Structures are given as structure tokens and as C-alpha cells.
Amino acid sequence: MPPGLSDDIVAMTFPPRIHVLMARDAPVGVVIRRGPSKSVCTILWDRRRDTFQVGQCLRGRIYERRSDLSPDGKYLIYFAMNGRWSGEAKGSWTAISRAPYLKAIALFPKGDCWNGGGLFTGNKRYWLNQGNGHLNGSDSREVLPDEKFRPEGGVGNECLGVYYPRLLRDGWQLIERSDVDVFEKPVGRGWVLRKLAHAEIVRDPGKGCYWDEHELMHAQRGLLIDLPKWEWAELDGTRLVWATGGALYAGRVNAQGLCDEVVLADFSGMKFEAVAGPY
């Protein structure tokens, strides 16, 4: 388990929720761990060594589906809310930080939970999900806005306006749009990873209004492996990586299905600790 946290997460009805942002051009990622509902932590994942380093914690919420990691893994853009509407960040904000930390190098107060967040269009270029606009904020010379970029495939003014363009950019194909939107990505040996993206106001306890399930499908052999407990999953080189039950796993596919499964890290026992950004 990664070192670092201490004070708060004593009893949880549900395991922590895990979502991962993976750099496209570097073997790193940022794990966003949420639990309890008003505590969130970011963790740097070295995907070569499968080692983990705690970044920072936040008393509030990070909307992981409106967040992104720069291609080189050096910068994080995220949308967050702590409800302190009279504070500097006006209760909700978009920030750009040096991954895996949350301390902003660029801060854009929002004041509501519509839109917000953004995507990286290059190592130091970003698109800000403005919607009806952010309030006056502080920009940075380290990263610059991409004024010409227009994302494709977004839905609505909340998480799916950023999440769906990110999936499409990262090689997922939208196969079906209905009550449950279905994305697919080939993972080798004839297998396809299917992401079933839900957006529901009425949902099971322990789930947000946006949540994913997964399946492995081999169309030629007529095989389907249902993986409803996988809340996040992605292809990492030649291996599959996924999150379930508060832990991060890796495995591969062979002719029969999933094999060589290993636990990379179990984040269940982590506890909140206030950590200052090192810059």
C-alpha cells in the first residue's frame, strides 16, 4: 500500500472509488482515489515499476471525468468542488497543477458545477471547458491555453462533455449511444474491451451519477465475459489494467480470456493527511 495518509477514513460502507488518468507519451499515471465521499487523494503511478507515490489530499470532490493528464505526465488539469462559495476558489474551480500534486499553478474559480475541467492538447497546451465561463483566475506561463481546439463527441454540460472526448482521443470507439453508451477498444488475441458508460440520476448505493461497467468480448468465438465490478479499465501496452474494490490490478488476455492477474496496489486502507505541494 502506498505510504502517507493518516486521520479520517476509519469506517467505510463502500470501498474507495478509483479512477486513473494515464499519460499518452510517458509510462506514468495519476490515480484519483475518492473515499469517503468528501475526501480525495491523488497518487503518482510509475507504470514501468508499478510503484506508487502519494501526491496530495483534498477535503472535497475532484470530478475525475472532467480531468486530464498531459501527454508527458507532468501536468494535471482537474475540476474540484469543496462548497466554500465565499473562498478564493468560489467553492468550485478548475486548476492546473504539477502531477501528482493538486497545488495550482493556474487557477480558474467557477462558482458552480456546470462545465469546468479540461483536456491537454499537448504537453504544455490545454483546453479549458468554459461553458458559461470561469471567474477571474490566475494563469501560468508554464502552460498555455489552446484557443483553437474544439473537442468532439462531448455530451452535455457536466462530466461527459470532457470524458467522452478524452475516451475518443485515447483510442476508444463509440459503438452504441442509448441509455448506456458503449465504447470499445481492441486488447489483443481477438478480444475487445467494452466500456459501458452509465449516466443515471437513480443508481445503486455507492455509485455516482456517472459510472462505468466493463466486458471482455471475443466476437469470433462468441464469448462474453461480464465484468460489472470493474469501475475503470484501460489498455497499458500489452496488458490490461483495471480498478475494482479499492484496488488496482493488471492482467493479460489469452485464447480463453483473462490470465496472469496481479494486484498492483490496494488503496483501501489509506487515510487522509494534509500534505503541502513541494513547489
Closest CA to 171 of 197, 199, 145, 195: 195
Q: Are 171 and 187 in contact (CB under 8 A)?
A: no
Provide the residue ranges of all domains of the chain, joining segments of one domain with +: 17-266
pLDDT in tens, 51-72: 999 999 999 999 999 999 999 9
Instruction: Say if CB 44 and CB 62 are below 8 A apart.
Output: no
Q: What are phi and psi of 109, to 5 degrees?
A: -60, 145
Burial of 168 (0-12, 13-18, 19+ CB in 10 A): middle
Q: How do residues 179-229 score in pLDDT, each as one tens digit?
A: 999 999 999 999 999 999 999 877 777 778 999 999 999 999 999 999 999
Q: Residue 8: which pLDDT band, with cuts at 50, 70 and 90?
A: very low
Q: Whole-number mean pLDDT of the chain?
A: 93
Look at residue 252 and give its three-state secondary structure.
strand
- Give the bridge partners for 221, in sequence order: none
Fold for 17-266, please state it.
Neuraminidase (2.120.10)
